[in-house]
């Protein structure tokens, strides 16, 4: 079993390298991974991933690739060459696209001798409910769609999915113990929920079967981010 702190992913949702470096200095070696999303990557590019590496830390590159298989395969090779620990794609891109992502990661890791990153799928964005799914032509419930896409991701050779707290148990049942579940929407008991609607505490999410927790604002906006991390880690250790 991984150490609790290695299962904590800090969402580096900041606008530029300067802010990123500030949080990296404070939180290095206190969390398992730093998640870089579209805002920071679009602003700072691969440099931010290099900076995280130079500080001895690893990256979850949260760019949610979604394109034709050839393009996603190429993007996946480049993500792997950046030496990230994880990156993700949209399961809605289909099995061929997901297989191209897995193969891109495998081949680039083989060529460079780097460790293959975990390739994760995003199933249904948590911003979509069943009404929104209907509007784009999907008539099933969110739960059914999440389960279908998680199984599809696993069959296509992906390593896991990003899943909201309420989906963890469902996917764990469908995809088994070895499928990696990364869960945002986690809030320590006495902190604000912000715009997250269905939240779990770190302990509840681990108990439900999550492997990694993604937490941003409860740490970033805390008066003392280090103390906030240590409290979360303590709760994770108690599970």
* Residue 51 contacts ligand C5P per CB under 6 A: no
Measured CA to CA, the distance from residue 124 to residue 109 in angstroms comes to 28
Residue 113 region by backbone torsions, left for phi larger than 0, else alpha for psi between -120 and 50, else beta: left
Q: Which of 4, 7, 8, 13 binds ligand C5P (CB under 6 A)?
A: 13
* Residue 194 contacts ligand C5P per CB under 6 A: yes
Q: Which of 4, 7, 10, 11 binds ligand C5P (CB under 6 A)?
A: 11
Q: Which of 73, 117, 185, 202 binds ligand C5P (CB under 6 A)?
A: 185
In the chain, the N- to C-terminal Cα span, in Å, equals 12
Which region, judged by CB under 6 A, interacts with ligand C5P, from 24-32, 85-93, 212-220, 223-231? 212-220
Q: Return the structure tokens found at 106.
A: 């495998």
Active-site pick, 64, 116, 134, 193: 64
Give the DSSP letter string of 38-51.
Answer: HHHHHHHTHHHHHH
H/E stretch holding 63 reads strand 59-65
Question: If DSSP codes are grouped into helix, strand and coil, which group holds residue 79?
Answer: helix
- Of 33 and 214, CB closest to ligand C5P: 214
Question: If DSSP codes are grouped into helix, strand and coil, which group holds residue 220?
Answer: helix
Q: Which of 19, 21, 30, 37 binds ligand C5P (CB under 6 A)?
A: 37
Tell me phi and psi for residue 64, to 5 degrees: 45, 65
Residue whose beta carbon is closest to ligand C5P: 216
- Closest approach, Cβ 215 to ligand C5P, in A, equals 5
Q: Which of 214, 232, 233, 236 binds ligand C5P (CB under 6 A)?
A: 214
**Does the annotation count 64 as an active-site position?**
yes
| Burial call 102-122: b when 16+ CB within 10 Å, e when fewer | bbbbbebbeeeeeeebbbbbb
Which residues lie near ligand C5P (CB under 6 A)?
Answer: 11, 13, 37, 126, 162, 164, 184-185, 194, 196, 214-217
Q: Which residues are catalytic?
A: 64
């Amino acid at each position: 079993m991984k150490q609790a702190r290695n299962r904590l992913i800090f969402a580096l949702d900041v606008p530029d390298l300067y802010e990123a470096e500030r949080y990296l200095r404070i939180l290095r070696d206190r969390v398992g991974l730093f998640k870089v999303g579209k805002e920071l990557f679009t602003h700072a590019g691969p440099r931010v991933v290099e900076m995280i590496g130079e500080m001895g830390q690893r990256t979850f590159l949260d760019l949610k690739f979604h394109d034709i298989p050839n393009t996603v395969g190429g993007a996946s090779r480049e993500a792997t060459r950046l030496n990230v620990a994880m990156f993700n794609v949209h399961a809605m891109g289909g099995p061929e696209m997901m297989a191209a992502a897995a193969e891109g990661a495998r081949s680039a890791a083989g060529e460079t001798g780097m460790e293959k990153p975990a390739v994760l799928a995003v199933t249904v964005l948590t911003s979509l409910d069943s009404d929104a799914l209907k509007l784009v032509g999907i008539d099933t419930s969110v739960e059914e769609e999440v389960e279908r896409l998680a199984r599809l991701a696993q069959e296509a050779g992906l390593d896991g999915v990003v899943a909201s707290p309420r989906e963890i148990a469902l996917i764990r049942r469908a995809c088994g113990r070895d499928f990696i579940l990364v869960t945002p929407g986690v809030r320590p008991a006495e902190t604000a929920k912000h715009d997250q609607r269905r939240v779990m505490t770190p302990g509840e999410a681990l108990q439900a079967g999550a492997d990694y927790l993604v937490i941003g604002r409860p740490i970033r906006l805390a008066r003392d981010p280090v103390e906030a991390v240590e409290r979360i880690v303590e709760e994770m250790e108690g599970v």
